[in-house]
Structure 1
């Protein structure tokens, strides 16, 4: 059960003031991110002392110094109210200059990049020819630099000329700040009859407060903006059990612009006022230490509850925690925040975190109907449009209430409601109720540090309801240059930390995590996406061509083409473009790509996955700055030799294409970090699922910066296997076609890959996989071994970091469980035709961390036993194609944590033994999945389950679910 609202009052109060305060920093922070990005380009360029800079070096140094001053000015910016428009105009100018500097730097790299030249007389001629060729562009570049220098000088002077004073935000004390706190207090006056679905979360939180241990305990409540955290906690705080249990109570509104002294004075006034005593003399002039001492002495040996509402920084908790004593009296502190990181940090050393999630579909529908229609039902003709609108709310109470309020004023006709659904983006800008909601949701964006803003804005170029892959997004960010190196971290690790920071701030939603605990898929709430698009438009960050009449600003820097290229006029210049992505484009005229690509020389990211391309356009290999190239699932069959010209390429994604051979010129790409060249499909009869990679060639070892390599077919010989040992930076690698005689050489190469975390090895045509010779393995977290094993590798028992293992076709006489059961971090075990025995036994004390177990294609397996104490944390069990297994694993019914039990193509005796009386509601009894058919015709698809996008059926079986996929 989740919290929802009937009234709008809680959302109306305080929005305008909060939105006003947050908007004052928004423009400056985005400009700061652009300036910082440009400085990150200039500073290394100057530090490297590139000789080719020649006479423009002093100008670049001057520009660098001025931008550093401007960035410092922007970082401390909090303009006075009366100067807001002037400051906004000034910031726009700074951002435009920064963009232009970026363009010039990229153009200069095209002109000044060193060219390969011969020696002697021929070399001299080439040098002269190059000088003549680039003389005019160099002269133009110098002129541009001079112009930029003048503009930077002018914008710096303009700040002083028009007295654009910037007050430090920590010292600001204008009345607006106080108005926000007063209005926030009014938002807590909602009556009990205005709340829906509050009982269960309130009772849980009350239990955490008044029950349990006597030591001080923290209870943070976190969730997305607009989810109702403050209102829920206020109802807990006001409950009679809480009032009676604690001797002292205080509710402190923190918000973004908190001041620790004012916060402590507020606490003192509440604590002394509750017992009707005057506050100590001199409180108004006391420093922080003295104020903390008063609070601490007052609360000694007392049972108290303190609420810290709306914390945006862990600094708040760090500043106040020493004022709140732990006298072992059962005191409690509650915190509300949008950040899960802050929530987790607050509970140290003791506490409970409550994540207030979105409303479930039933409560969302009920709330929507009450707001839109004033009753619990919806007119039949409006049900479809209503559900479409509600789907965009994503279970967020704030959005449901705001949109329901807007719809309550509309005529109850279908065309009117469909228009609201289509125009929600523009309504966020024009409708007062939706603008207030947008201001609240925008607070999380405005609070972002400068380096995260472009990372979040980049999500706006993807289609609505798009499910993102984390690796893809990380590589796109890196390709764009949004991620900077940090000491002792790879650039990928820095990017992943950015992703987690956005997740922890409730700006993106996790859809699926891997068995290793890594985020695999995520999405953006529709209204956060609308805010992102709005910000992108305001800052000229990017454009989406989703309609034929799409309006483009000048100097478009990122372009996303949806559905058809006809949405982009061919006469439009995109010479400033840095990213081009296509989604759902089914046809591309032959005359379209060449002129379009010829006009975007500064492109860094080109993502054409799923585009109808059969040949790589020649113009792509001339994109000197290109760092990210995805041709995934296109019809490309071959790469040209000229691919070696893309000297800055970092990601090459050819997954799902028919490319099997790579030109040797590709091995010149020394900056390449991700090389994905493989396709999966079925082979032979009966069909066998197989992965097809690219044929490894001598020279692959020159790609020394590779982080990921999938899948390389090494059946050409041992030289290629030996060269893999040079790829010491590899973190993930997939190897196919390994010959038995190359096993020892591969083991030697793997031992040199000390950064390797993910290893997949498949033998040649299901021959023997000889990998016994790995004596000092890297810190592997995932292993996939596909092929026959004469002896189970002993080195696997050394992998204490191993989280996931897949064994396929091993047909070993040795029981693999004997080695695997003691691995301390193993969470995911998949065995397919991996054992030739009749019985598998999971012994007491084994597999203490296992959560997922899959057993399939065991030809002779007749019995599976699970002893008491084995696999205590098992959540998911999968059994498939075990023809001799006629009974459910013995002892599995005792596993209280088991949530899902999947099975496929099992004998009828297995299903009968499972439970002969299972009925699917009004469906027929569950039948064998061998013939891929369900008796009966109704199959329910759970929209919120992103892990399995096939029709599925759920049915209860004791305390677990039997869940079967239509495969």
Structure 2
């Protein structure tokens, strides 16, 4: 993190020197000196964070001072830009002194910037003195940081316990063990194949692999076997030598002469020769690097005898990399289910007490503890083992449960658990360390929307520019890498296969929270937070409390990022009026969780929010104050109450040309032309949501010529006809129309959209009696037809909807029977029928329904029926029909 902080400041210095050369003529050399010194210091930071959290106090203090210096430099640069550059821009839109033609203009500019120049000159001298002091301490204490640092002592976790687990102590691995044994024994008898077990640290990959290795069935199928622990620091030479020693020890063959003196090339040659005529199985446990396969596969030839290589890893990319020259099977190891987690906990916590069972008085608190472990075997074993040494009292156990974060940090019984979880963080490249720490900002058990997270990374400057890719695409790659490294869990998947929301394991979050505190990354304030924060450096603040006393205490801190989660904060209160007036350097403001009814007046004056990636959102609609158009690179703005501001607000929208997502509520027909003009300026717009002020108000959007990047479109209101630009949206993935009351079947205009994946026609979106799906809709996955009151028939042409997997039909009172053409949809997996007419449901009854044959190929059919004679009843019954072909 220290390296990341310095790198971020360096980028700012680079940009300042590049763009404001003439403005900096009095202080340019000083800034260049700072840049050079920071580049020098950054060389020493490769392993500083790791050593600061595991070793000498002096290093920890040194990193802390360096981080604080980075914060100071960032403040000085930003204050300078805000005062001097803004003064210049006030006179000249382009920001260059050379553009001034009048002597008077130049004199005014010098007068405006004289005080800031004096101040920055003084502050730069202070910064240089602090840098020299840090360098002097490097020399004095002989800190040795470099990319090939010698003598760095890393405390790797003890893995012996995972290799020597009695058969009777193994819980919950029966199914994965049987599957992997089957792959090893019954797979292709000719080709060499790679079997990978992938999962986060502590899931029991090593225990599972060793259990499979010792299986008698596996032993009998191979001529020779070896089990090798790789870990983060490994030597191919040592691995191959160890592999050969295990082979010869098991087969009782004489060792090759001089094997202990052979170099890597000779060892690989000997290994290849030995294995050429043997069916072998080799286990490589705890592999971290994708390049491992390039090095080790040279010593493990594909001898066409059905040999096997098994790899355990936290990184899915390691497993996938082997596909380039081997057949690969991947088992993604899952956490223990609740019943197995409870069984394992009782085995450890009550092994010698209460006959291995939990006493009734400890059941509730034990259940809380097991839930915190979230099915992670290592955590269950470690915490259960610790509790087995303590008094079996509720108070003693509750104390550990409530202070688990502290116990993880200091209790030797849990040290191995902490180190194993921490290894995944230590192995990350520096650009991902900041990204994973961001998960600690969110509350516990919070499912985080992926798009929100990625936008926050971008706003913070964590995401690097890459040629030919948008920042969003690079951010998605970062998130995918964290998922593949088993650090992030996918909570929900979008219909296009991407992760729409994600979370982290609670114990991993505990580790991240400790690192956040050590690194001054973010301060989290919740209802239970009684910590005095007057002496704490706060750059990022996450608020999960409505306490005004706590909020007022942070108003004078130089915040750069503010997050509010699911709490009631009225911005008319003291906090709002004072805070936003003082927070001129705020660069990330996330109010998504705040129950705000308007946007504070001063938000448009925030210097950094004009220059970063930012978002303003509110599901119920927010009122924007005059001047918000100044945030010219705002990229996400929804949902705005357009009637509060009307045409003037729409004119402000026209300035926001960088918007990617726009949501407008309370739109009136009279806004049509102006709204089209403003939206047309948004060439990067990817998501557009427009809702009329009432369901009968007409939305007039005919005068938009093109939205080339639009991927999502939601139109809620009357449409005299479908806008003629909609069928030209080649990038459109998702389309929802509601209250549209279209007279003409819109499907003939939509069938050729090349990337449409999801179509929803809801709440009188269509007034007609028949929908006709013609040949087309090549990629459509999900179809929702809801509350179309006049619809009585649906036609589907052969070869239409070839990719459709889900249909939901709900509240279609005149559709009396299932469309026969559904049998043509061979890839349909799920059919949901909600409050469809009784005759409709009878026609597909599995016990003699006349049209049951129509859905025989569908894997899952769910029927939700209203209970009782009252048509307005909200009581429903659910039944699911499963067919043999889908079971």
Instruction: Tell me the equivalent position of 2:660.
Output: 707
What per-residue deviation string (whole Å, max 9, x for no partner) do you get for residues 712-752 of structure 1?
74732334324433322112222445998956533x223xx
1:522 aligns with 2:522: no
**2:338 alignment partner in structure 1:** 361
Give yes or no for the alignment of 1:404 onto 2:357.
Answer: no
Distance change >3 Å, CA 391–CA 187, structure 1 → 2: closer
Greater alpha carbon shift after TM alignment, 487-496 vs 802-811 = 802-811
Q: Which residue of 2 aligns with 1:4?
A: none
Counterpart contact for 2:745–2:771, Cα < 8 Å:
no
Q: Among residues 59, 74, 81, which one is paired with 2:30 in the alignment? A: 59
8 Å contact kept, 1:881–1:905: yes
Does residue 877 of the first structure (1) align with residue 858 of the second (2)?
no
Aligned to 1:608: 591
User: Distance in 2 between the 1:359 and 1:231 partners?
Assistant: 14
Q: How far apart, CA to CA, are the structure 2 residues paired with 1:956 and 1:389?
A: 39
Change (3 A) 1:164 1:662: closer
Q: Which residue of 1 aligns with 2:132?
A: 153
Structure 1 residues 771 and 617: CA distance shift in structure 2, 3 A: closer
Compare 826-835 and 851-860 and name the one that shifted more. 826-835
1:217 counterpart residue number: 193
Answering whether residue 883 of structure 2 is matched by residue 901 of structure 1, we say no
Number of aligned residues: 853
Matched residues in 2 for 1:114 and 1:180: separation? 52
SS at match of 1:864: coil
Q: Deviation of residue 325 (structure 1)?
A: 1.9
From 534, 538, 557, the counterpart of 1:556: 538
Partner Cα distance (2:600, 2:277) in 1: 76
Distance 1:606 1:206, change over 3 A: same
Determine the C-alpha separation between the residues in 1 that align with 2:281 and 2:467: 42
Taking the aligned partners of 1:601 and 1:306, their CA distance within structure 2 comes to 60
Q: Write the distance in 2 (CA, Å) between the matches of 1:561 and 1:730.
A: 31
Alpha-carbon distance between aligned partners in 2 of 1:225 and 1:82, rounded to the nearest angstrom = 19
After superposition, residues 301-700 of structure 1 pair within 5 angstroms as 301-348=277-324, 349-374=326-351, 375=355, 377-546=357-526, 547=528, 549-552=530-533, 553-566=535-548, 568=550, 570=552, 574-586=556-568, 590-611=573-594, 613-614=596-597, 616-625=599-608, 627=609, 647-648=610-611, 650-659=613-622, 663=626, 665-678=627-640, 697-698=650-651, 700=653
Aligned to 1:105: 77
Partner of 1:114: 86
SS of match in other structure, 2:500: strand
1:892, 1:36 → 2: CA distance?
62
Choose between structure 1 and 2 for higher RCO, CA contacts under 8 A separated by at least 6 residues: 1
Q: Secondary structure at the match of 2:736?
A: strand
Q: Per-residue deviation at 1:254?
A: 0.9
Per-residue deviation, residues 526-550 of structure 1 (Å, max 9, x unmatched):
1111111100111111212233521
CA distance in 2, matches of 1:856, 1:569: 46
C-alpha contact (below 8 Å) 1:86/1:164 kept by paired residues: no
1:783 is aligned to 2:735: yes
Matched, 1:886 2:838: no
Instruction: Structure 1 unaligned segments of length 5 or more: list them.
Output: 1-29, 628-646, 681-690, 909-927, 936-952, 963-967
Conserved? CA contact 2:745–2:766, under 8 Å: no
Structure 1 residue 679: deviation in Å? 7.8
How far did residue 897 of structure 1 move?
Answer: 3.8
The residue that corresponds to 1:202 in the other structure is 177
**In structure 1, distance between residues paired with 2:779 and 2:263:** 50
Show the counterpart of 1:641: none
Q: Alpha-carbon deviation of 1:896? A: 6.5
Q: What is the CA deviation profile of residues 467-492 of structure 1, one whole-angstrom value per residue up to 9, with x for unaligned ones?
A: 21112222222222222222111112
Deviation, structure 1 residue 47: 2.2
Once residues 818 and 551 of structure 2 are traced to their aligned partners in structure 1, the CA distance between those partners, rounded to angstroms, is 64
What does the per-residue CA deviation read over 1:124-146, in whole Å, with 9 as the maximum and x for residues that have no partner? 88876665454333312111112
> Over residues 83-141 of structure 1, what are the superposed CA-to-partner deviations in whole Å (9 max), with x where a residue is unaligned?
84444443333222222212222222222232354699999888766654543333121
How has the CA–CA distance of structure 1 residues 271 and 574 changed in structure 2, closer, same or farther, with 3 Å as cutoff? farther
Per-residue deviation at 1:239? 0.8
Q: 2 CA distance for matches of 1:474 and 1:81?
A: 27
Give how far 1:613 is off.
4.6
Aligned 8 A contact 1:655 1:676 in 2: yes
Contact 1:896–1:959 under 8 Å retained in 2:
no
CA contact (8 A) 1:739 1:769 kept: no
* Alpha-carbon separation, structure 1, partners of 2:789 and 2:270: 70
1:244, CA displacement in angstroms? 0.9
TM-superposed CA distance for 1:569, in Å, is 7.1
Quick one: distance in 1 between partners of 2:51 and 2:90? Answer: 55
Mean alpha-carbon deviation: is it higher for 267-276 or for 498-507?
A: 267-276
Change (3 A) 1:668 1:100: closer
Distance change in 2, residues 1:282/1:150 (3 Å):
farther
- In structure 2, relative to structure 1, the CA distance for the partners of 1:612 and 1:783 (3 Å cut) is closer
Task: Report the CA distance between 1:358 and its aligned residue.
Answer: 0.8
Give the CA RMSD over aligned residues: 3.7
Are the counterparts in 1 of residues 46 and 146 from structure 2 also a CA contact under 8 Å? no
Aligned-pair CA distance for 1:46: 1.7
Q: 2:19 aligns with which of 48, 55, 58?
A: 48
Name the structure 2 match of 1:16: none
Query: What CA distance in whole angstroms lies between the structure 2 residues aligned with 1:736 and 1:187?
Result: 58
CA deviation profile, 1:514-573 (whole Å, cap 9, x unmatched) = 112222222221111111110011111121223352133432112223223356274567
Contact residue 624 and residue 648 of structure 1 kept, 8 A: yes
Partners of 2:867 and 2:768 in 1: CA distance? 22
User: What is the DSSP-based 3-state SS (H/G/I as helix, E as strand, rest coil) of the residue aligned with 1:855?
Assistant: strand
Once the two structures are overlaid, the 10-residue window that deviates more, 448-457 or 853-862, is 853-862
Which residue in the other structure is 1:815 paired with?
Answer: 771
Contact 1:843-1:866 at 8 Å conserved across structures: no
Is 2:120 the partner of 1:137? no
Query: 1:167/1:185 Cα in 2 relative to 1: closer, same or farther (>3 Å)?
Result: farther
**Conserved 8 A contact 1:97-1:148:** yes
Residues 51 and 60, structure 2, Cα contact 8 Å, conserved in 1: no
Q: Does 1:758 align with 2:712?
A: yes
2:756 to 792, 802, 824: 802
Deviation of the 1:895 alpha carbon: 3.8
- What is the CA-CA distance between 1:598 and the residue it aligns to? 4.4
Unaligned runs of 5+ in 2: 93-98, 845-850
C-alpha displacement at 1:790, in angstroms? Answer: 1.2
User: Which deviates more from structure 2 when the two are superposed, residues 316-325 or residues 596-605?
Assistant: 596-605
Specify which of 869, 874, 885 is matched with residue 932 of structure 1. 874
* Length-normalised TM-score, structure 1: 0.80
In 2 relative to 1, CA 655–123 (structure 1 residues): closer, same or farther, beyond 3 Å? Answer: farther
Distance 1:68 1:151 in 2: 15
Q: Does structure 2 conserve the Cα–Cα contact (< 8 Å) formed by 1:516 and 1:804?
A: no
Q: Would you say the 8 A contact 1:575–1:602 is kept in 2?
A: no
Instruction: State how 1:20-39 maps to structure 2 within 5 Å.
Output: 30-39=1-10
Q: 2:95 maps to what in 1?
A: none
Q: Contact 1:840–1:863 (CA<8 Å) still a contact in 2?
A: no
The question of whether the paired residues in 2 share the 8 Å contact of 1:303 and 1:331 is answered with yes
Distance in 2, matches of 1:616 and 1:736, equals 20
Give the TM-score normalised by structure 2: 0.87
Q: 1:922-967: CA deviations, max 9, x gaps?
A: xxxxxx99522369xxxxxxxxxxxxxxxxx8878567999xxxxx
For residue 220 of structure 1, give the secondary structure of its aligned residue in structure 2: strand
